[in-house]
Amino acid sequence: MSTQAFSEQEKIRREKLQKLRDAGIDPYPAALFPVSHYSADIKNNFTEEKKDDFAHVSVAGRVMSINDKGKVFFIKIQDKQGLIQLYIKRDELCPGEDKSFWDNVVKHGLDLGDFIGVTGYVFITKTGETSIHTQTLTLLAKSLKPLPVVKRDEEGNVFDEVTDPEFKYRQRYVDLVINPSVKETFIKRTKLINSIREFLNAQGALEVDTPVLQAIPGGAAARPFVTHHNALDVPFYLRIANELYLKRLIVGGFDWVYEFSRNFRNEGMDRTHNPEFTVLEFYVAYKDYFWMMETTEQLLEKAALDVNGTTDAQIGDQTISFKAPYPRVSIYDAIKEHTGFDVSGLTEEGLRDVCAKLGIHTDKTMGKGKLIDEIFSEKCEHHYIQPTFITDYPVEMSPLTKKHREKEGLVERFELMVNGKEIANAYSELNDPVEQRVRFEEQARLLERGDEEAMYIDYDFLRALEYGMPPASGIGFGIDRLVMLLTGQPSIQDVLFFPQMRPEKQD
């Protein structure tokens, strides 16, 4: 049986908790607290001329500072908009002879981190600070753990944020309280998703849901997580992509469908990869990848403006412009430019020789597509800082993509590179069921060679194609990476509320 070890501060807070209960004060009351105003709205709109509009306010928040002046307390609370000061006078809070509430709660019961609700009227102190002259105070929740101490300026801005990743990512709930800029990152994330939804809905697209548990993990080249369905006694996979289900809906008669999809890939973790991540995919009938490039430019221009008010985004020292149009470079031209090798006509062995000369590690499981992908990833990708469409991939790299209408051995595909990383991947979709079966069979041979990222054969998807799918174009956006770009964050962990971490060691 484990016993909880308390710090000295935690012991003191638990003693205060018991004293409050002994005094008949519920430290966790059930009743709702009626909030009428928020901090920034009050501070931005209050003037002496408008004081009648603020004669009766009700606010609630977390105690962030306490200044004990004896019979007067100055307390700052933090709500969803920021900080506001409370002016609390003993004889106004407790006007009668009984001062026990003042002594038990305000004087001896409150700690930093507690939640309180107050009513009163707004005024400006002699030092010029918009404050609430408190007439009633309710303890709403007692905090039993002390918050990390950070330094703030007069406006409440933190200037020595807690930056320890172990703390920030594992205890995000505290990170959000003490580091206001973190909250802004996640507000911008929601603005981005809302902006994309508005763009797609305005075009007549339909938002849909597709399965997370899949019998066949299809739609991407990735290693899946495996689970087991007890009732059916069969293995299931957490989805690596939702592509094949969305294309089934195109077969079914929808012309434009989209989904914000939580995907799972059982692979490495680094500053741009998390095992669980968010992707936007959409598929549009009767379109091709040229149309999709233009649509992508329009979508990203709008999203940047909606999130930041400008098409420019700042990442470290780099200013990235999402203003259309974006350059278009074929993958073979990119490799030739940055390595000096023309790999367009090479066999698998020829590609292995190039990899050896470039110092790129290979193994026997890699086919032509994987080898070309490695060369581009290692030697080219990082050069593309401004948004650039890398186009016209070899057919071996793209088993779900339509063959190029003009260039033998290539497919109609692009990846959007920004700040040296792939942000989006799009095709003119392969809708020939005979050709799709051949491509899946080639992937099956790669699986047999030991390539754990090769695609499985999805026979139901092939059956759907045999009923007929109109020409279509589809795209997948990495939402987390896009948030990183638009908020200037260097790591994917900084744009996920709760990134995956190793299990915490228990003392």
Local structure of 488: helix, strand or coil: coil
**Rounded to 5 degrees, what are φ and ψ at 269?**
-125, 130
57/50 Cα distance (integer angstroms) = 13
361/469 Cα distance (integer angstroms) = 40
Q: Are 418 and 449 in contact (CB under 8 A)?
A: no
Bridge-partner residues for 63, per DSSP? 77
387/13 Cα distance (integer angstroms) = 53
Tokens representing 183 are 């909250």
246/224 Cα distance (integer angstroms) = 19
- Flag whether 243 is marked binding: no
Q: Are 460 and 281 in contact (CB under 8 A)?
A: no
Q: Are 281 and 259 in contact (CB under 8 A)?
A: yes
Cα torsion 463, 465, 468, 469: sign: positive
* Separation in Å, CA 157 to CA 81, 85, 382: 12, 14, 35
CA atoms within 13 A on the CB side of 435: 13
Q: Are 28 and 141 in contact (CB under 8 A)?
A: yes
Tokens representing 166 are 């172990």
- State how beta strands 115-124 and 234-238 pair: unpaired
* Separation in Å, CA 176 to CA 37, 256, 290, 488, 494: 21, 37, 42, 17, 11
Q: 245: left (phi > 0), else alpha (psi -120 to 50), else beta?
A: alpha
Q: Are 392 and 334 in contact (CB under 8 A)?
A: no
DSSP H helical segments within 309-417, as ranges? Answer: 331-339, 348-358, 368-379
- Flag whether 48 is marked binding: no
Query: Which residue in 81, 50, 85 sits closest to 69, CA to CA?
Result: 85
Burial 218-255 (b: 16+ CB within 10 A, else e): bbbbbebbeeeeeeeeeebbbbbbbbbbbbbbbbeebb
Local structure of 224: helix, strand or coil: coil
- Sheet with 234-238: strands ordered across: 213-214, 234-238, 226-229
Q: Are 470 and 254 in contact (CB under 8 A)?
A: no
Local structure of 162: helix, strand or coil: coil
86/96 Cα distance (integer angstroms) = 21
- Give first-to-last CA distance, the chain, whole Å: 13
- From the annotation, which residues make up the binding site? 415, 422
- From the annotation, which residues make up the binding site for Mg(2+)? 415, 422
